[in-house]
Structure 1
Amino acid sequence: MTRAKLFSGILISICFGLFLSACSNGESESKDTKKEEVRTATDAMGEVTIPANAERILAPNMEDSLLALGITPPAQWAIGTTVHNYLQPQLKDVPTIEWDLPLEQTINAKPDIIIFGSPGSIQNGKYEEYKKIAPTYVFKEEESADWRKQLQVMGEIAGKEKEAKAVLEDYDAKTKEQAAELKTAIGDETAAILWVIGKQYYLFENSRFAANVLYTDLGVTQPEMIKALPKAEAAWNPISLEALSDLDADHIFLASLPNEPGLASLKASSVWKGLPAVKAGKIYEMEDPSNWTSNGPIANNITMDQIVSVITKK
């Protein structure tokens, strides 16, 4: 064998060995990547394996948290034609899915992961059926009920912990500024929130939905009637028109769609006309109640802006 042929053979062997090594490394990296594609988390049902980089996150009634993290869901929560109106600027082109997540609609949404707000929100014991469609995460009640915790957990699920932290920091900074502005405008004057839907009236307890923004975040003083209300429970009982005669608030936020039949009855009543806030002209009509009856960074930001705007006449 000539020296040239010998050298050529050695070179081919070296190249082939490098090729095998590269393939081997590629397979190893591929296996490592696959290992990183899922992770184990603990939810209300136990341990669940979830995709680490899920893109199609189906989380009905928790779209506020998703959107705040920059995630658009494959479908949005609905009850018939009712949706979260305040989120429609971001969700107007997103198809709806009925509130009880029918299996066929859930399959059609092609989720990478399905998220429920609590075990009780899973209808008809279909948990195992949902798991066959996609990995299913079920929030613990105390985590989904607190919008801050919900956002943080959602950030962990979606791999957006930094984004969740930034949202909370921005909200807290804004709250501090707006609370100071409101204090300058009204001092210790009191305020209350009344929601009208159909022919029913609902007075917000100090910890329900937008009341968290009004009293806790912005530090507005509660009227005596609100202080005397029992602690907010999941079941929300309406208040009678007659009972509203005790509403001693200096300011009233009236959350109602303009065509609600109870609204006309309320305004025509002597009870309403006799309230201190009505006499003083300090009634603020919020014609889209959807953010007032929701909790989340987007809802709360909108509510905060509306409160400060109407009171300070911005």
Structure 2
Amino acid sequence: MRICRYFLTIGLLALILLLAACGGENEDSGSESADNSDEQNIEVTLDSQQGEVTLPTDAEAIMAPYHEDALVALGVTPVAKWAIGESIQDYLEEDLKDVPKIEWNMPLEQVLNHSPDLIILEHGLDSYEGTYEDYKKIAPTYVMKEEVTNDWRKQIEVFGKILGKEDKAEQVMNQYNEKVKSAKEEINNAIGNETVAAIWATGNQFFLFEENRHSAEVLYSELGVQAPELVQSLSGDVEAQWNPISLEKLSELKADHVFLLASEGEQGIETLENSSVWQSTPAAENDQVYVLNDPSNWTNKGLIAAEKTIDDLLEFLVK
């Protein structure tokens, strides 16, 4: 009997050890699975102008020259901001005032000095000092396809995937769409079918926004505001080159409201104020020319640029 009990005890001990070992293996397997899952989450593979590319989603020092709007919209501060000499995208300065500048053509030495761990470039690589291979040696580099470069909505989506912020990208787009819907109703109730135009004055030159030029797309396409005939005649296939319009031609602008975008002290403002031709246009006669001293959100495309443009429109058109 004692022998039987002895072997029974040994058998139970062996069974307990076996079960413990199996449990340990399952825990190790679970840990390994979790580790693999974490590894999968820190990389993303996307199609790009250069073909399929794998990028880290946990990058912190990010560089996306001229497209900082999309980064800021997603809650990311870039390691450097686009500039042409002293010129920057002023409308982003509330978020980027402490961020150092990098020249628009991305000099390799400047890029190296900022030590990025992710670089995002436009499809037109010829505008940069370095080549794709040059930048890729510095950090993982993503080159946007042309349709992504030209469409800020697609940028929000793509940047969201690159940065592991897809939920945030969806959230900010939903909020933007709600803003457009609300603003469209307010503006329509305020001005109905009255026409609106936007002019950028720089130096003593005047640039009339066509319907799809920069943030005018928000004004006409998204908010459904009526464009005056002169604007309609200039629209169509908007070419990359944006040519100034003469003061004589501006006299044909039969707009009910005009947004005049000009930095403070710009010569063009004085020119229009002293022009009897301009003063006889409907908007000027009815005191419905609105001067905005920061034109930067109007001359850019991006979610934040669009939101600020909508805010400008609401401020002056909805009273």
Matches within 5 A, 1:1-314: 30=35, 33-120=38-125, 122-124=127-129, 126-230=131-235, 231-313=237-319
Q: In structure 1, give the amino acid aligned to 2:239.
A: E
Deviation, 1:165, is 1.1
Deviation, 1:97, is 0.8
Deviation, 1:76, is 0.7
Q: In structure 2, give the amino acid aligned to 1:248.
A: K
* Unmatched segments (≥5 aa) in structure 1: none
Normalising by structure 1, we get a TM-score of 0.89
Pair 23,312 (structure 1): closer, same or farther in 2 beyond 3 Å: closer
Which segment is superposed worse, 215-224 or 28-37? 28-37
CA distance in 2, matches of 1:268, 1:257: 18
The answer on whether the counterparts of 2:214 and 2:301 sit within 8 Å (CA) in structure 1 is yes
Structure 2 counterpart SS, 1:246: coil
* Structure exhibiting the larger radius of gyration computed from Cα positions: 2
Deviation, 1:119, is 2.6
Structure 1 counterpart SS, 2:54: strand
Deviation, 1:39, is 2.7
Structure 2 counterpart SS, 1:228: helix
The answer on whether the counterparts of 1:116 and 1:122 sit within 8 Å (CA) in structure 2 is no
Q: How many residues align?
A: 307
Deviation, 1:275, is 1.1
The answer on whether the counterparts of 2:61 and 2:117 sit within 8 Å (CA) in structure 1 is yes
Q: Deviations over 1:57-95 (max 9, x none)?
A: 210111111111111111111111111111111111111
Which segment is superposed worse, 175-184 or 262-271? 262-271
The answer on whether the counterparts of 2:125 and 2:132 sit within 8 Å (CA) in structure 1 is no
CA distance in 2, matches of 1:54, 1:182: 41
